[in-house]
Amino acid sequence: MRGFDRSWIWLLGKQFVVGFLLCCDQCLQFLSNLTLLRIILDDSVVSALRTKGFFVDSVLESEKILEFAMDEAQGSSNSLPPFLAKTYEMFARDLLPRFFKHSNFSSFIRQLNTYGFRKVDPEQWEFANEDFIRGQPQLLKNIHRRKPVHSHSTPNLQVQGSPLTDLERQSLKDDIERLKNEKEMLILELKSHDQERKGFELQMQLLKERFQNMEQKQQKMVSLVARTLQKPGIASNLGSQLETHNRKRRLQRIDYFYDEANIEDNPIGTSQTVARDNAESTSSNMEQLDHLDSSLRFWENVIPSAAQPYIQPNSRLELDESTSCEDSLPVSCIQLNVDIRPKSPGIDMNSEPTVVPAPEVVPSKEAVVANAASVPTGANDMFWEQFLTENPGATENQEVQSERKDTDSRKNENKPVEPGRFWWNMRNVNSLAEQMGHLTPAERT
Amino acid sequence: MRGFDRSWIWLLGKQFVVGFLLCCDQCLQFLSNLTLLRIILDDSVVSALRTKGFFVDSVLESEKILEFAMDEAQGSSNSLPPFLAKTYEMFARDLLPRFFKHSNFSSFIRQLNTYGFRKVDPEQWEFANEDFIRGQPQLLKNIHRRKPVHSHSTPNLQVQGSPLTDLERQSLKDDIERLKNEKEMLILELKSHDQERKGFELQMQLLKERFQNMEQKQQKMVSLVARTLQKPGIASNLGSQLETHNRKRRLQRIDYFYDEANIEDNPIGTSQTVARDNAESTSSNMEQLDHLDSSLRFWENVIPSAAQPYIQPNSRLELDESTSCEDSLPVSCIQLNVDIRPKSPGIDMNSEPTVVPAPEVVPSKEAVVANAASVPTGANDMFWEQFLTENPGATENQEVQSERKDTDSRKNENKPVEPGRFWWNMRNVNSLAEQMGHLTPAERT
Amino acid sequence: MRGFDRSWIWLLGKQFVVGFLLCCDQCLQFLSNLTLLRIILDDSVVSALRTKGFFVDSVLESEKILEFAMDEAQGSSNSLPPFLAKTYEMFARDLLPRFFKHSNFSSFIRQLNTYGFRKVDPEQWEFANEDFIRGQPQLLKNIHRRKPVHSHSTPNLQVQGSPLTDLERQSLKDDIERLKNEKEMLILELKSHDQERKGFELQMQLLKERFQNMEQKQQKMVSLVARTLQKPGIASNLGSQLETHNRKRRLQRIDYFYDEANIEDNPIGTSQTVARDNAESTSSNMEQLDHLDSSLRFWENVIPSAAQPYIQPNSRLELDESTSCEDSLPVSCIQLNVDIRPKSPGIDMNSEPTVVPAPEVVPSKEAVVANAASVPTGANDMFWEQFLTENPGATENQEVQSERKDTDSRKNENKPVEPGRFWWNMRNVNSLAEQMGHLTPAERT
DNA sequence: ATCGTTCTAGAATATTCGTCA
DNA sequence: GTGACGAATATTCTAGAACGA
């Protein structure tokens, strides 16, 4: 027991332990140098201390006395409880500094109580036992340790301390069980966080890779352009071709923006949560890309074809290529068809416009339709009516929308998903908190 | 108990009562003059005391702090049991020699126990209470005197309910102990997560920087190319046309944005805030796009127009288009058509503007179907039937969608997955809530 | 007190208390022993021993070490029996002179036995307990005092087990209450983490968008430049250079992706879910990249091809590339084969027209179909059947999927990697799970 | 009526002793 | 003779209870 009464001095009164000095480490330090103390304090100080209850002299002389007592105590009561022997020993000398195993005054008191000693004088640390009398060690045998009453051995008798009712027991168990479950959920949550983090890392990595890729391309472009531009008379030649091309392009671009607006704009009022944005952004990005892509493709194909029809094949090829590569979205398909048509100059396409396209590409529904539609439809009114009313958004818009709906629906379903990350939106949190607040039995009434 | 702990000093640590010094009369005298002590003991003694677990520093400096704490403690707990107030007060100052009415150390300890303080270190006189924390006086209110359990009040009633077996008792304790440990682990885990997050932020930042860098480069490229291509003959011609054209376009775009605002706002559940950032980013993206856009437009317009001024009409058309464009709804379809029309140079498109466009673009499934239906289905019926019904090969769209659905379904299954991050989708939340609600079953009845 | 003033040294083996010096108070004549000890054990040990309380002066340095150890032991097991804490502490330092209340070696041994320690080596004073292992203080909680075996005294009465005292009850309740609160705090913490994560996602998303935007621009640039470059003179010049360059590139990429697909796909346990969304986005990104890539490639190749038709091979090659790129799924394999076949220029491919188209472009399902369709669909039924049913159409979809699997697999793999951060690597998780599993009292019986 | 003080007791752990296989 | 253990005692910490302000 550090810092507390490493040593102490017992000062016994007339009949019992009377006083006793407890010291902290500082005191210990203070007292550990008794010799020094004696020297310093000298008589005046010593007497001063004495008047305060300390018997310094006793302390100094205790050693000899101790040994004496030792023998005496041992001889007189071999079968006596050690505590009694020790205590009597102390008593016998009126003053006996003694070390028990411990240095706790309270422990000593506890022992006194255990052996039936009672405090006599509330004002003083006097404990008495009628069989503990100076000069009458033979009485000591009448003092017994109080302990045979193992209360725990008779559980039912001890009504005190209400036994745990089944109800209570169950309650406790339930609580623990619940805590376990919740903790487990927390663990899962943490786990999912880890997963997410991992996903993040992956995305980050991919982004980086893409980035590098792009950087490289850019580099290439730069050098390519640099090289090319150095060629004379190029720019001047391009003029005419580009012209028509660009015109068309513009129109397309309108669409592009249009879609963009649709897609990208929602952001503001997006009731959805994060998930949505992600989905949206993704789709929107895709679409944009598609737009651009298609635009580019269109021109890539159209223009050249105008000037050099034979290139068509290549164009087509390219088209296919791009198609396969890029699009995961319907939009692209459409585009493809459009592009392709012009592309397929005088090949099979021409021979059978309606069908040909399909077989050719048919891959995408849109394409098919487009081709099909291209067929001279007589009463198109019907179609248009339906087209403009029911699912007007046919084009990219359509797709976009569908995309969105898809996303939205997901949202609704999997609330947890995006926002889900917050498995715990405000409402949930609150309710949880509330519930937890109610956890306390008392509040439940 | 004279000569025993007349005074003491509590030395509180960071979180709890940490130590406390008991002194005998001599010690009292010794310590009552702290200032003196400091002088006398000097560093060597002070450090010696410290190493023994005493916070001498606190002792020495306690005075100043004292006043502060005094007010604080008093203000915060007017209704608190005096014992707590006093104790906390002592605590608040790190060191406060305090005298209760009594001079019994044991009485003090008794009080500590009564209020739920437990000895922390068997080696030291340290008592702790989780709600007895330095700097958090508000927690004191959580400490209550323990006494409400008057066993004598209901001696007989409690007979019912089987007594808790030792096994059970141990089990409960073990459970709690385990929960504590696991909680500790969770806390550690959370900490590590924070670390990871920081790393992410850093990476993200770096990526952004790189990105910006690249964007700048690209911009340069664009302008470079633009400048280069802007060969004298071309540029001079384009001037006038572009002007008007761009103007319109700009207007369009204005509308576009306008609509954007409109559109975005409607979103029903605009409770989020996050979305906002998206919007922002979007806009920034938009700007970037504008840059490119303008560059492109420049070329689109300038070059062609130079050759064929009559294109103007188209421009107009486009304008109208753009107007309609804004709506992301069905209307967009129309738009599409319009756009396409111009596209189809002098082919069939012109012959039947209304229809042509549709087939051309009709990218979306619906569109496809519509067209297909309208088209005179030759012998393709078989194929088409299959295609349109089973639509196995669907286009990319199809696949994409299926993919999504797939994902969705998976989501539902694998909660953990995406949403998984949210270990806790509605169901879980609810169940948790439910469980928590049930936490106190006993009390409910 | 017999045996008190004996001194000895305990030398315990690797696993347990290794050594320990006991001295009696009377060794206060310690000087004699000290001298000897000092000589033998050297100053460091001596001072360490001194600080154990025997020698007042030495308390100075010992405290720190002591407290350190104390904290360590305490932290891991606040409720541990003092004996275990002490013993572990001794152990922890390989040599820790420690004083119990007594100085009896046998008493110490008795305690060891009480706590389940057994003598390991009859030749040495080594005692072992399987839950007393260096470096694993958390196991200490599994060591319990052996006591409740009062079977003989009151065998029948105690069958019920002692009733839960109010104290105990209160304690349990307090514990549970505390745990609840702490759990709540953890939940809040997690919540904040979610918020942060959301922020991250947003940022990531924005970055992606910007990136895509930029990619688009780049693409535009590419096409623009390409168009420009498409001038006879230029193209012819660049052709050769780009050609070789691209070819190498493609091949590389093929390998890369191919391996990637193989490696990443096998991952059996794709039980994860979270990764999925990431995968999706990833894949889409990848695709876009491919698009761009293809565009570039196209121009690099096509343009020249305009001048020199023989370039066809290149196209094919490119095709392969893209093909390889995308598929990581078995399905894709089919595609791959198809595509690849064509690869072998003018060889088997040609021999089988249906196939030829594929080789040319086949990259995308659509493309494939288109080609296939373009071919005189004689026995196309087969193909179409397969195509429409199995939808081998791999293409982007394919890629997406593969991507996902990829992601998933990584997830599985990386679990261990990151693990560091996850306090719960497999082992921990398991152990935790186990512990939690055991939490249920019922299971104990 | 609650809180503080005091004294004693309960309960768990620690120490010692002795026995038994 | 050793090692594990029962049992008694000792020590520690906390609670019960009485009493007074």
**Alpha-carbon span C117 to C15, nearest angstrom:** 11
Q: Cβ–Cβ of B404/A410 closer than 8 Å?
A: yes
**Alpha-carbon span C359 to A169, nearest angstrom:** 75
Answer for the pair A179, C176: CB distance below 8 angstroms, yes or no: yes
What is the model's pLDDT at position B143? 77
Is there contact between C147 and strand D, defined as CB under 7 Å from any strand atom?
yes
- Name the residue with higher pLDDT: B15 or B213: B213
What is the model's pLDDT at position C117? 80
Answer for the pair A366, B367: CB distance below 8 angstroms, yes or no: yes
- Mean pLDDT across chain C: 47
Give SS3 for B384.
Answer: helix
What is the model's pLDDT at position C220? 76
DSSP H or E run through A212: helix A166-229
Answer for the pair B67, B34: CB distance below 8 angstroms, yes or no: no
CA distances from B403 to A285, A404, B400, C183 (A): 18, 15, 5, 39
> DSSP secondary structure string, B175-219?
HHHHHHHHHHHHHHHHHHHHHHHHHHHHHHHHHHHHHHHHHHHHH
Q: How far A349 CA lies from chain C's nearest CA (Å)?
A: 9
Alpha carbon B280 to its chain centroid, in Å, reads 19
In the 140-159 segment of chain B, residues within 7 Å (Cβ) of strand D are 145, 147
Share of chain B above pLDDT 90, in %: 0
Q: Kindly report the length of chain A.
A: 445
**Alpha-carbon span A318 to A205, nearest angstrom:** 30
Task: Examine the pLDDT at C194 and tell me if it is beyond 70.
Answer: yes
Provide the ipTM: 0.36
**Among the listed residues B396, B52, B328, C285, the one whose alpha carbon sits nearest the alpha carbon of residue A361:** B396
Q: Which residue is nearest nucleotide D15, judged by alpha carbon to C1' distance?
A: C107
Helix and strand numbers, DSSP H then E, in chain A: 17, 4
What is the model's pLDDT at position C339? 37
Which of A269-273, B191-195, B248-252, C243-247 is the least confident region? A269-273
Q: Integer distance in angstroms from CA A90 to C1' D20?
A: 38
Task: Examine the pLDDT at A213 and tell me if it is beyond 70.
Answer: yes
**Alpha-carbon span C277 to C279, nearest angstrom:** 5
Rounded to an integer, the average pLDDT of A366-378 is 41
End-to-end CA distance of chain C: 45
- Mean pLDDT across chain A: 47
Facing residues of C128 across strands?
Answer: C118
**Among the listed residues B337, B316, B312, B325, the one whose alpha carbon sits nearest the alpha carbon of residue B255:** B325
- Over residues C198-244, the pLDDT tens digits come to 777 787 788 778 778 877 777 777 777 777 656 554 444 444 443 44
In the 77-96 segment of chain C, residues within 7 Å (Cβ) of strand D are 81-83
What is the model's pLDDT at position C88? 66
DSSP H or E run through B412: helix B396-413
Q: Which residue is nearest nucleotide E8, judged by alpha carbon to C1' distance?
A: A81
Strand E, nucleotides < 7 Å from a protein CB: these are 2-7, 9-17
Rounded to an integer, the average pLDDT of B3-14 is 26
- Name the residue with higher pLDDT: A331 or C139: C139
Q: Cβ–Cβ of A422/C191 closer than 8 Å?
A: yes
Alpha carbon C334 to its chain centroid, in Å, reads 35
CA trace torsion B222, B225, B226, B232 (10° rounding) = 170
| Nearest nucleic acid nucleotide to B122, CA to C1' distance | E12
Give SS3 for A47.
Answer: helix
Give SS3 for B230.
Answer: coil
**Alpha-carbon span C233 to A237, nearest angstrom:** 11
Rounded to an integer, the average pLDDT of C149-177 is 50
- Name the residue with higher pLDDT: A135 or C368: A135
Select from B166, B181, B195 the Cβ nearest to the Cβ of C148: B166
**Alpha-carbon span B128 to C28, nearest angstrom:** 34
What is the model's pLDDT at position A106? 73
Residue in the block written with tokens 């012009």: A342
Supply the angle between the helices C275-307 and C312-326 in degrees, to the nearest 10: 180
Burial of A42 from C-beta contacts in 10 A (0-12 / 13-18 / 19+): exposed
Q: Give the mutation candidate from B360, B403, B427, B438 for the A interface (greatest A CB count, under 10 A).
A: B360
Answer for the pair A89, C1: CB distance below 8 angstroms, yes or no: no
What is the model's pLDDT at position A243? 40
- Over residues C136-147, the pLDDT tens digits come to 666 777 777 775
**Among the listed residues C361, A369, A349, C83, the one whose alpha carbon sits nearest the alpha carbon of residue B336:** A369
What is the model's pLDDT at position C118? 80
Quickly count: other Cβ atoms within 10 Å of residue B210's Cβ: 14
Question: Which sign, positive or negative, has the C-alpha torsion C231, C235, C236, C237?
Answer: positive
Answer for the pair A24, B23: CB distance below 8 angstroms, yes or no: yes
Q: Cβ–Cβ of B392/C391 closer than 8 Å?
A: yes
- Name the residue with higher pLDDT: C60 or C325: C325
> DSSP secondary structure string, A92-153?
HHS------SS--HHHHHHHHHHTT-EE--TTTT-EE-TT--TT-GGGGGG---S----GGG
Rounded to an integer, the average pLDDT of A90-106 is 51
- Over residues B267-300, the pLDDT tens digits come to 443 333 333 444 444 444 444 444 444 544 544 4
**Alpha-carbon span A245 to C135, nearest angstrom:** 76
* pLDDT band at residue A80 using 50, 70 and 90 as cut-offs: low
Q: Cβ–Cβ of A289/C157 closer than 8 Å?
A: no
Answer for the pair B106, B8: CB distance below 8 angstroms, yes or no: no
Rounded to an integer, the average pLDDT of A420-441 is 36
CA trace torsion C435, C440, C441, C442 (10° rounding) = -120
Task: Examine the pLDDT at A257 and tell me if it is beyond 80.
Answer: no
Tokens of A16: 């019992």
Q: Cβ–Cβ of A178/B439 closer than 8 Å?
A: yes
What is the model's pLDDT at position A231? 57
Q: Integer distance in angstroms from CA C401 to C1' D8?
A: 78
Which of A31-35, A160-164, C236-240 is the least confident region? A31-35
Chain A's closest residue to C387, CA to CA, is A363
- Over residues C399-430, the pLDDT tens digits come to 444 444 444 444 444 433 333 333 333 333 33
